[in-house]
C-alpha cells in the first residue's frame, strides 16, 4: 500500500490497485476550487497510472460532499468548473465508484452521478436541493438524474429539494447498493472488488436509459410544468429546472449540458439566488450569539410552564415534542384542565390527520404533569412563564418562582413586549432571568427571540440557544425594548399600512399587494387571523403614553367597537361567512373607512401598487435599521432571520435588510425623505441608513461585526 497526499483537500491513497480519493474539506467537503482542481488532477493521474485499476471516491468526516461551495457564488468563476470535473470523472476509462455516507447533496450528488457505480451507507442523505438556493443542479444533475431514474422521479427530487435515505435512493435507482456497516472505506473497497472480480464494465450515466420512454417522460415534464407554474409563486428557478429536464429529453447529452449551463447561469444571476443564499448563511449565523461562544449551557432535563392558555399550551407541546418532561402550573383545577385540553387538542388534530397514533399521544402526554402549586417546581431546571401580559401579574409569578425554584434554575418569560429588565430586577437572582419569546402557534412557528436583559448571565443565554436547538427552533438574540426585534418593527410598518388605508388605499388592495410581494398574508388578514381584540387592548393600554404628535388612525378601533375581531367572530376587516377561513371584502368596513377619512379630514387619493409596497418596505427597513443601530439586533441578518421565520417574509428576498441592499439603500433613503415631507414625525430616517449611504456602504457590510 502506498500513500500520497495531494495536499489540496483531496487525499490520495493506493490500496490494492484502487486509488482511494478522500475529499477532505471541512466542515462539509464543499467543492471549492481547490477541491475541484485536486479531484480533476487525481482522476487524470489515476487514468495515467498503470498501478491503478479503479478509483474509489469517498468523503472525510461526517459527509460525502455537501455540494458546490456556496460561498463562491456571485464571485468570478474559477476553473475548472464543476460540470467539467464531473465530465472528467465520467470520462475516466477505469471504473470509478462513489461510496456515500452522510450528505451527498447538490454538486456532491452530481459527482456521484458522474461516477460509474454508487453505494450508499444507511446514514446517507442524497438530494438535489439547489432549488432551495434559487438554483438548479448545474453540474450535469438535470441531465444525468433523469437518465438514471426517469424524468418523474428526478423532477420530484429537484423541485422539492428533499433528501432521500439510502433505501429510497436504492429503490429509485439512484444508487446500486446499500452498505451494511458504517465503515464507508471498507464498504466502498468491498463493492469495488466485487465489481472488478465480475469484470463489470465502465458504465456511464450519460448512456443510461431512464428517458427511453419519450411519451411517459414528456407527460411527467408537462405535469411538473403545470404544477410548478401553479405553485412556485414567482420563484425563478423551478421552471428552469423543468426546462432543463426537457432539454435532457430532447437534446443529445452534450447539448443538454450546454443548455443546463445557460439556465444555471441565469439562476446564478438572479437576485432570488442572492436572497436565498443569504437566508441559508443567516440562519446559521444567528446561532453564533456571543454568549454561546464562551459560556457553557446549563443542563435542562425538566421544564415548568406557567399558564395553560394558547401560548402556554403551545410552548408545552413544543417542549413535550422535544422529549422534555413538562410541569404545567395553573391557578385552579379548572384552568389546569383547560390547559391540558389545549395540549390534547393539538395531538388530537394530528391523530385526525393520521399523523399520530393514540399510543404515541399517550406516550407524549405521560411526560406532562399539572399542578396548582408552584411548589411542584422545586427541582425544575427551567421555567417558562406564559401568563397574561401585565407587569404586575408577571412580577407576582416571578416572586413565586424566586421563592420555590432551586438555585441555578433558569427563569424565562414569554412576554412579547414588557420590560424584562424590570421583571429581572424584581427577583433576587436577576442573572437567571431571560426572555424566550415564542410565536403563535408556539409548537409550529420556528422563530424564538432570545431576549437578553442587562443582568443575565452568559450561561443562561447559552442555555436558551441550546434549548432552541432541542426544540428545532431558530433562535435570534434580541435586546430589551418595546416589542424586541419583530413586534417593534411590525408596529411601524403596520402603522404605515394604516396611514395608507386612511389616505385612500383599501385594506384589500394593500393585502393583495403585500401577498404579491411574496408574504403569505397581508397585514389586515394577519390582524383578522390573530384577533383584532389583542391589538385593541394594547392600543387602549398605551393611549395615555402615546406621543400626541404621532398620527393615530382610528379605523381599527371603530371595527373592534362593533365586536368584529376577525375570523373568530366571523368578521373583521373581512367577512368570514359560515366559518370560512378566507375572507371576503366587506362593504360595511369600506363605509367605516370612508367615515373615518371624513372625520380625520383626509381627502382620499389613489395609491399605485408600487407605491404601497415602497412605503410598506421603507417603514420596515427604517425600523429594522433602528433596531440594529440601537443594538437590539446584533446585525442586519438577525432582523432578516426574525422576519423570515416569524413574519412570513418571502425567503427568496432574503429578509428586509437584504432586500434593502438589493433595492439600494440610497433609494430607500430617498423614499423615506420623500415621505417625510408629508409626515416628518413618522418618517425619520434611521441614523444607520443615513451613515451607510454617506459612506456608500451596505447593510450587509455590518453582518460580520457581531
Binding site for ligand 3H9 (CB under 6 A): 27-28, 30, 63, 66-71, 82, 103, 105-107, 110, 129-130, 133, 135, 137-139, 141, 281, 284
What Å distances lie between residue 409 and 400, 437, 463, CA to CA? 13, 18, 11
70 or 320: CB nearest ligand 3H9: 70
Are 164 and 128 in contact by the 8 Å Cβ rule? The answer is no
Are 507 and 573 in contact by the 8 Å Cβ rule? The answer is yes
Q: Is 72 a catalytic residue?
A: no
Are 42 and 21 in contact by the 8 Å Cβ rule? The answer is yes
Smallest gap from Cβ 108 to ligand 3H9, in A, equals 7
75's grid cell? 464571485
Smallest gap from Cβ 161 to ligand 3H9, in A, equals 8
Question: Taking Cα atoms as reference points, which of 240, 239, 236 lies closest to residue 270?
Answer: 236
Are 224 and 117 in contact by the 8 Å Cβ rule? The answer is no
446 or 562: CB nearest ligand 3H9: 446
434: left (phi over 0), alpha (psi -120 to 50) or beta: beta
Smallest gap from Cβ 265 to ligand 3H9, in A, equals 9
137 or 646: CB nearest ligand 3H9: 137
CA atoms 131, 136, 138, 143: torsion sign: positive
Smallest gap from Cβ 510 to ligand 3H9, in A, equals 35
Q: Which of the following is catalytic: 44, 47, 72, 130?
A: 130
Smallest gap from Cβ 64 to ligand 3H9, in A, equals 9
N-terminal to C-terminal alpha carbon distance within the chain? 49
Smallest gap from Cβ 249 to ligand 3H9, in A, equals 20
Smallest gap from Cβ 40 to ligand 3H9, in A, equals 14
Helix (H) or strand (E) run with residue 420 in it: helix 420-425
* Class of residue 552 by CB neighbours under 10 A (exposed 0-12, middle 13-18, buried 19+): middle
Are 237 and 130 in contact by the 8 Å Cβ rule? The answer is yes
Smallest gap from Cβ 82 to ligand 3H9, in A, equals 4
What residue has cell string 428517458?
211
Question: Taking Cα atoms as reference points, which of 663, 641, 667 lies closest to residue 654?
Answer: 641
Cα of 286 vs its chain's centroid, Å? 12
Q: Is 110 a catalytic residue?
A: yes
110 or 421: CB nearest ligand 3H9: 110
195's grid cell? 465489481
SS3 304: strand
Smallest gap from Cβ 538 to ligand 3H9, in A, equals 37
30 or 434: CB nearest ligand 3H9: 30
Beta bridge partners of 152: none
68 or 474: CB nearest ligand 3H9: 68
139 or 211: CB nearest ligand 3H9: 139
Are 210 and 148 in contact by the 8 Å Cβ rule? The answer is yes
Q: Which of the following is catalytic: 110, 291, 330, 623?
A: 110
36 or 437: CB nearest ligand 3H9: 36
130 or 187: CB nearest ligand 3H9: 130
141 or 297: CB nearest ligand 3H9: 141
Smallest gap from Cβ 32 to ligand 3H9, in A, equals 8
- Strands 125-127 and 96-100, by their bridges, are unpaired
Are 325 and 302 in contact by the 8 Å Cβ rule? The answer is yes
Question: Taking Cα atoms as reference points, which of 473, 463, 416 lies closest to residue 443?
Answer: 473
Distance CA 698, CA 706 (A): 16
Q: Which residues of 318-349 are buried (b: 16+ CB within 10 A; e: fewer)?
A: bbbbbebebbbbbeeeebbeebbebbbebbee
Smallest gap from Cβ 254 to ligand 3H9, in A, equals 17
606: left (phi over 0), alpha (psi -120 to 50) or beta: beta
Are 513 and 614 in contact by the 8 Å Cβ rule? The answer is no
Q: Using the 8-state DSSP alphabet, how is residue 703 labeled?
A: T
Sorted by sequence, the CB contacts under 8 Å of residue 262 that are 6+ apart come out as none
Q: Using the 8-state DSSP alphabet, how is residue 490 labeled?
A: H
Question: Taking Cα atoms as reference points, which of 307, 321, 309 lies closest to residue 365?
Answer: 321
112 or 427: CB nearest ligand 3H9: 112
Within 10 angstroms of residue 482's Cβ, the number of other Cβ atoms is 13
Catalytic residues: 110, 130
Amino acid at each position: 500500500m502506498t500513500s500520497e497526499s495531494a495536499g489540496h483537500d483531496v487525499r490520495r491513497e493506493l490500496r490494492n490497485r484502487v486509488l482511494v480519493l478522500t475529499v477532505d474539506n471541512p466542515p462539509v467537503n464543499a467543492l471549492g476550487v481547490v477541491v475541484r482542481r485536486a479531484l480533476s488532477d487525481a482522476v487524470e493521474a489515476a487514468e495515467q497510472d498503470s498501478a491503478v485499476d479503479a478509483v474509489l471516491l469517498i468523503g472525510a468526516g461526517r459527509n460525502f460532499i455537501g455540494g458546490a461551495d456556496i460561498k463562491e457564488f456571485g464571485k468570478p468563476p474559477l476553473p475548472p468548473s464543476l460540470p467539467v470535473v464531473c465530465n472528467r470523472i465520467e470520462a475516466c476509462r477505469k471504473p470509478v465508484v462513489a461510496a456515500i455516507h452522510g450528505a451527498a447533496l447538490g454538486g456532491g450528488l452530481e459527482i456521484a452521478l458522474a461516477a460509474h457505480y454508487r453505494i450508499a451507507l444507511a446514514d446517507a442523505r442524497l438530494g438535489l436541493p439547489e432549488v432551495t438556493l434559487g438554483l438548479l443542479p448545474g453540474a450535469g444533475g438535470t441531465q444525468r438524474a433523469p437518465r438514471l431514474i426517469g424524468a418523474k422521479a428526478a423532477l420530484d427530487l429537484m423541485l422539492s429539494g428533499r433528501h432521500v435515505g439510502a433505501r429510497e435512493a436504492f429503490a429509485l435507482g439512484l444508487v446500486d447498493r446499500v452498505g451494511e456497516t458504517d465503515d464507508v472505506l471498507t464498504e466502498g473497497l468491498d463493492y469495488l472488488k466485487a465489481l472488478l472480480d465480475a469484470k463489470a464494465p465502465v458504465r456511464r450515466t450519460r448512456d443510461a436509459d431512464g428517458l427511453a420512454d419519450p411519451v411517459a417522460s414528456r407527460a411527467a415534464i408537462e405535469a411538473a410544468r403545470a404544477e410548478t407554474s401553479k405553485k412556485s409563486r414567482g420563484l425563478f428557478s423551478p421552471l428552469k429546472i423543468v426546462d432543463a429536464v426537457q432539454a435532457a429529453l430532447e437534446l443529445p447529452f452534450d447539448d443538454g449540458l450546454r443548455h443546463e449551463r445557460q439556465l444555471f447561469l441565469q439562476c446564478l444571476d438572479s437576485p432570488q439566488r442572492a436572497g436565498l443564499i443569504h437566508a441559508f448563511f443567516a440562519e446559521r449565523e444567528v446561532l453564533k450569539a456571543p454568549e454561546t461562544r464562551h459560556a457553557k449551557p446549563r443542563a435542562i432535563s425538566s421544564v415548568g410552564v406557567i399558564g395553560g392558555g394558547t401560548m402556554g399550551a403551545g410552548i408545552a407541546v413544543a417542549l413535550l415534542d422535544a422529549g422534555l418532561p413538562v410541569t404545567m402550573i395553573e391557578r385552579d383545577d379548572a384552568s389546569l384542565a383547560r390547559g391540558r385540553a389545549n395540549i390534547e387538542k393539538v395531538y388530537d388534530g394530528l391523530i385526525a390527520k393520521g399523523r399520530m397514533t393514540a399510543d404515541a399521544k399517550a406516550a407524549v402526554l405521560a411526560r406532562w404533569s399539572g399542578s396548582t402549586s408552584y411548589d411542584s417546581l422545586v427541582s425544575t431546571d427551567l421555567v417558562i412563564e406564559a401568563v397574561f401580559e401585565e407587569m404586575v401579574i408577571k412580577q407576582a409569578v416571578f416572586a413565586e418562582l424566586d421563592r420555590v425554584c432551586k438555585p441555578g434554575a433558569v427563569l424565562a418569560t414569554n412576554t412579547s413586549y414588557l420590560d424584562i429588565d424590570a421583571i429581572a430586577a424584581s427577583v433576587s437572582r436577576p442573572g437567571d432571568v431571560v426572555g424566550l419569546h415564542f410565536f403563535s402557534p408556539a409548537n409550529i412557528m420556528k422563530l424564538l427571540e432570545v431576549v437578553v436583559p442587562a443582568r443575565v448571565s452568559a450561561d443562561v443565554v447559552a442555555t436558551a440557544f441550546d434549548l432552541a436547538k432541542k426544540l428545532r427552533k431558530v433562535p435570534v438574540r434580541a435586546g430589551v425594548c418595546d416589542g424586541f426585534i419583530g413586534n417593534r418593527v411590525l408596529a411601524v410598518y403596520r402603522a404605515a399600512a394604516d396611514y395608507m388605508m386612511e389616505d385612500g388605499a383599501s385594506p384589500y388592495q394593500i393585502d393583495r399587494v403585500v401577498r404579491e410581494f411574496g408574504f403569505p398574508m397581508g397585514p389586515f388578514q394577519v390582524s383578522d387571523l390573530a384577533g383584532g381584540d389583542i391589538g385593541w387592548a394594547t392600543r387602549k393600554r398605551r393611549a395615555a403614553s402615546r406621543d400626541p404628535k404621532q398620527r393615530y388612525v382610528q379605523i381599527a378601533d371603530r371595527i373592534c367597537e362593533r365586536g368584529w375581531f376577525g375570523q373568530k367572530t366571523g368578521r373583521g376587516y373581512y367577512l368570514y361567512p359560515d366559518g370560512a377561513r378566507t375572507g371576503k371584502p366587506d362593504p360595511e368596513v369600506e363605509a367605516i373607512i370612508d367615515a373615518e377619512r371624513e372625520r380625520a379630514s383626509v381627502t382620499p387619493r389613489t395609491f399605485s401598487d408600487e407605491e404601497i409596497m415602497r412605503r410598506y418596505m421603507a417603514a420596515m427597513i427604517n425600523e429594522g435599521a433602528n433596531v440594529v443601530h440601537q443594538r437590539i439586533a446584533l446585525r442586519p441578518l438577525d432582523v432578516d432571520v426574525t422576519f423570515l421565520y416569524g413574519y412570513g417574509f418571502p425567503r427568496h428576498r432574503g429578509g428586509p435588510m437584504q432586500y434593502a441592499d438589493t433595492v439600494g439603500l440610497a433609494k430607500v433613503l430617498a423614499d423615506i425623505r420623500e415621505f417625510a415631507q408629508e409626515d416628518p414625525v413618522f418618517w425619520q430616517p434611521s441614523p444607520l441608513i443615513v451613515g451607510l449611504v454617506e459612506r456608500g456602504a451596505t447593510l450587509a457590510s455590518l453582518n460580520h461585526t457581531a
